[in-house]
Amino acid sequence: MPNLLCVGTAGMSVWFSRDDGETWIRPYIESGLYLEARVWALSAHPQRPGEVLAGTDSGLYRWNETDQKWTHLPSVLDGYDIWAMAQAPDDPDLIVVGTQPAAIFVSTDGGKSFTPAQGTFADACIFVGKPRVTQILFDPVDRDTLWAGVEIDGVHRSTDRGRSWKKVGQGINSEDIHGLAVIRNGAKLVYATTNRGLNLSRDNGETFAFQELDSPWQYTRTIVPRADGDATVFLTNGNGPPGSTGRLLRSTDHGAHWTDANLPGELNSTPWTVATHPSNPKLIFVCSNLGQLFRSSDGGESWTKLPREFGEVRSTIWQPLP
């Protein structure tokens, strides 16, 4: 069964591979999405094989693998850059989107319409002008809980399926939130990555504590548990955005300790994205911010650098095709 691997870029639209990253195509503009689109977020759902949602600088688009077409889904989101997106594990039509300027919108009809969520977010940011929602995450432990990271406005939590949000996260070492993960190890751990390092909450996000890495740099971007739900977690770490080098770190004890995953060769920037899928948790893809691509077929024990390199990468997902 082939897989569909998708890489969203900042200015080169979405690239597709159907042979696990060996070869790539980028559909031309007649497919429905212009070739220089900035694609900040991608989402796919197990109940909708062959369908991909792309959050762009011109609204929300849906890819259909059968007819090889993008369809624009007109909505209030057309006035925003879509930086983060997630679909409910139990309902692919429940889509929660985070934008720049920072706001959150909810659709319960598969993207036909969106309603603004209730919440207060910062309206100015010294680094990026207007704050942006960098990640939306459905909590794997508590069905009605969602998490949002805002750059720069800290961690926000929803307990009503995304309809309303409250800022949490006292004690976090930076409100420049890049990534979030919820990990089960008997208890519930909530991790947040920032420009100043990794933070951990043991009280459902109410408070966080800095977890220093044994690394030349504390800058962290993406934290992703392997899709089989075991103790393996991946963390991207580097010397800045985009940076000139970095490391992929791997934990085999739910994030308590980290070791270098040993991506091969010389990295051109901070590792940025990690893609894993429950249909084959051992197949993992990692992209650096400036477009290097790595693949593991053994759950992160070893890695291959693939020949293809992109421009600036923002999102990576893969899914099995029907």
The predicted-structure confidence for 51-103, as pLDDT tens digits, reads as follows 999 999 999 999 999 999 999 999 999 999 999 999 999 999 999 999 999 99
Asked if 246 and 236 touch (Cβ cutoff 8 Å), the reply is yes
* Predicted local confidence at residue 30, as pLDDT: 86
* Predicted local confidence at residue 199, as pLDDT: 98
Q: Enumerate the H helices of the chain as residue ranges.
A: none
* Predicted local confidence at residue 176, as pLDDT: 96
* Predicted local confidence at residue 123, as pLDDT: 87
Q: Is the pLDDT assigned to residue 322 strictly greater than 80?
A: yes
| CA atoms of 231 and 220, how far apart (whole Å) | 19
Confidence of residue 304 (pLDDT cuts 50, 70, 90): very high
Asked if 293 and 23 touch (Cβ cutoff 8 Å), the reply is no
∠ Cα 166 170 175 (to 5°) = 80
Q: Is the pLDDT assigned to residue 208 strictly greater than 90?
A: yes
* Predicted local confidence at residue 206, as pLDDT: 98
Tell me the pLDDT tens digit for each residue of 221-253. Answer: 999 999 998 799 999 999 999 999 999 999 999
| CA atoms of 35 and 316, how far apart (whole Å) | 17
The helix/strand/coil state of 176 is coil
* Predicted local confidence at residue 207, as pLDDT: 98
Confidence of residue 1 (pLDDT cuts 50, 70, 90): confident
User: What's the chain's average pLDDT?
Assistant: 96
Tell me the pLDDT tens digit for each residue of 106-158. Answer: 999 999 999 999 999 998 776 677 899 999 999 999 999 999 999 999 999 99
Give the percent of the chain with pLDDT over 70: 99
Token pair, residue 178, equals 């890049």
Distances (CA, A) of 69 to 12, 59, 210, 258, 289: 17, 16, 45, 41, 27
Q: Which H or E run includes 190?
A: strand 188-194
| CA atoms of 140 and 65, how far apart (whole Å) | 28
pTM recorded for the entire structure: 0.96
* Predicted local confidence at residue 94, as pLDDT: 98
Tell me the pLDDT tens digit for each residue of 159-195. Answer: 999 999 999 999 999 999 999 999 999 899 999 999 9
Asked if 232 and 276 touch (Cβ cutoff 8 Å), the reply is no
* Predicted local confidence at residue 230, as pLDDT: 78
